[in-house]
Amino acid sequence: MSDLLIESVTVEIDAPAEFAWAVLLDYPNYPRWNPYTVAVDTTLEIGTPIDLTLPKPDGGEGTWVSREYVRAVEPPRLLRYDTGDTFPGLLGVRDQVITPLGPDRCGYRTFETFTGEYAEAVFAAQGAYVKNGFDSVAHALRERVAALIATR
């Protein structure tokens, strides 16, 4: 079985990569702008948990928490975490990538690769939910950065 990939749209952001990175990691403000990841609890230390509070996949009321584990923090370019052994038979590895496009411009995209015995079933059941969530974060990050830049 090959890896299964879900990738967001790539957005261009009119701000330095360092500024977009700071907004991306400003977890206390996520409820103000992030429609997919409404809260994050983490120290960002390698190997430690990162608890992501997400809306329910079925669109119902409430949220659920996905516990993952921090694997790479490379400012201002890469944040990587994965599901570790949280879900036996499934490994999801997510990368959030900021690409400098010049001194005052950058790109953002996120993607997750699923592997393991249950990867195909999870991909089939949750792929559209994850893709829509990833796209919403990309657009919302661009909008949040623009709003913050406008108030400087």
- Write out pLDDT tens, residues 80-93: 999 999 999 999 99
pTM of the model: 0.94
Collapsed DSSP state (helix, strand, coil) of residue 41: strand
Q: Identify the CA nearest to 17 among candidates 94, 79, 96, 108.
A: 108
Q: What is the pLDDT of residues 24-57, one digit of tens each?
A: 999 999 999 999 999 999 999 999 999 999 999 8
pLDDT over threshold 60, residue 1: no
Give the relative orientation of helices 119-150 and 17-24 as an angle to the nearest 10 degrees: 120
Going from the N-terminus, what domains does the chain have, and what CATH number goes with each?
4-150 (3.30.530.20)
